[in-house]
């Protein structure tokens, strides 16, 4: 009996020693799993291409706009978001909020991601791009050119038309980049040759019309001397002197353009925005 008890005690001691030596290994493995999980890039939360918290669109408009966005996303392998808020959080600027929305909901587009954010209360708009999209729709001329496509409708309250124009503009810019390998610049559409031709045509037409009007004026003829334009004896200057009264100087502050783009770009985001 005593031998049996001794054997059981030895077995318990052996099991405890094995478990004690395995515990650090298991703890290290669990720690490695936690670190590996933390090192993985966070996946964006899932929302639709159109988020309308301010309820400015009908369900039909949201559905139609969503279909348009998904078609452009599939065509160019990108992610596009339109995020409409009633108001910005306290202390948050539109650019920073747009960057946060892109990172949280629309990140990791294969060929880039872009978000149009609206804050209806403060009437702010902002376009945020990641660095991949930033190469296709560049800061400055790219964002300003895209703005011209949708901002007028946005200011007039034609929200569905404005968002549709924004998506069409993104499609146009991306198609141009894929075809040429260069970002689209609206200035490249301006033709100096066409402008010069238009000016010459206007000058010729204006000169011809002027000559026609002169030819119709039968009672007018050029005078050989300047005195011919003065009726003799009709004017006589008897006395002349100048009296200085005072000088008034008015200064007006230079107005600021509320529609000019502002930037909250950083090392991982591009874009620009303003008021509507």
- Domain limits, the chain: 50-187+265-275
- Kindly state the tokens that stand for 77: 């392998």
For residue 56, what pLDDT is reported? 96
Residue 26 host element (H or E): helix 2-39
Which position has the token pair 């620009």? 272
Phi, psi for residue 82 in degrees, rounded to 5: -120, 115
For residue 272, what pLDDT is reported? 95
Per residue in 236-246, pLDDT tens? 767 777 777 77
Q: Name the nearest CA neighbour of 148 among 30, 264, 259.
A: 259
For residue 240, what pLDDT is reported? 75
For residues 103 and 70, the answer to whether their CB atoms sit within 8 Å is no
Q: Compute how many other C-beta atoms are within 10 angstroms of the C-beta atom of residue 116.
A: 25
Residues linked to residue 127 through DSSP beta bridges, in sequence order: 116, 272
Per residue in 146-173, pLDDT tens? 999 999 999 999 999 999 999 999 999 9
What pTM, to 2 d.p., does this model score?
0.61
Q: Distance between CA 68 and CA 167 in Å, rounded? A: 8
For residues 159 and 56, the answer to whether their CB atoms sit within 8 Å is yes
What is the Cα 166 distance to its own chain's centre? 9
Phi, psi for residue 54 in degrees, rounded to 5: -85, -5
pLDDT level of residue 24 (50, 70, 90 thresholds): low
DSSP 227: G
pLDDT level of residue 258 (50, 70, 90 thresholds): very low
Residue 203 host element (H or E): helix 192-215
Q: Name the nearest CA neighbour of 68 among 149, 145, 165, 134.
A: 165
- Kindly state the tokens that stand for 177: 């980049």
Per residue in 183-206, pLDDT tens? 877 665 554 554 566 666 677 767
Q: Distance between CA 150 and CA 163 in Å, rounded? A: 7
Q: Domain 50-187+265-275: state its class.
A: alpha beta
* Mean confidence (pLDDT) of the chain: 79
Burial class from Cβ neighbours inside 10 Å (0-12, 13-18, 19+) for residue 124 reads buried
């Amino acid at each position: 009996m005593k031998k049996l008890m001794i054997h059981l005690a030895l077995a318990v001691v052996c099991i405890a020693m094995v478990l004690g030596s395995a515990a650090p290994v298991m703890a290290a493995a669990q720690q490695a799993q936690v670190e590996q999980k933390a090192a993985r890039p966070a996946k964006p939360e899932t929302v639709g291409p159109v988020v309308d918290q301010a309820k400015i669109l009908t369900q039909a408009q949201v559905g139609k706009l969503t279909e348009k966005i998904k078609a452009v996303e599939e065509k160019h392998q990108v992610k596009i978001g339109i995020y409409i808020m009633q108001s910005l959080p306290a202390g948050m600027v539109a650019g920073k909020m747009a960057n946060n929305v892109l990172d949280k909901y629309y990140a990791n587009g294969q060929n880039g991601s872009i978000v149009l954010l609206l804050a209806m209360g403060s009437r702010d708009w902002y376009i945020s791009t990641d660095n991949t999209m930033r190469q296709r729709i560049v800061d400055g001329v790219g964002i300003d050119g895209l703005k011209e496509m949708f901002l007028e409708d946005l200011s007039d309250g034609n929200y569905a038309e404005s968002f549709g124009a924004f998506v069409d503009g993104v499609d146009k810019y991306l198609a141009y980049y894929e075809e040429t390998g260069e970002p689209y610049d609206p200035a490249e559409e301006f033709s100096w040759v066409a402008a010069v031709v238009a000016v010459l045509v206007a000058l010729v037409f204006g000169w011809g019309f002027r000559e026609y009007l002169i030819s119709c004026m039968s009672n007018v003829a050029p005078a050989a001397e300047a005195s011919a334009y003065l009726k003799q004896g009709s004017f006589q200057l008897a006395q002349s002197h100048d009296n200085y009264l005072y000088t008034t100087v008015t200064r007006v502050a230079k107005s600021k353009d509320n529609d000019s783009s502002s930037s909250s770009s950083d090392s991982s985001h591009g874009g620009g925005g303003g008021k509507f």
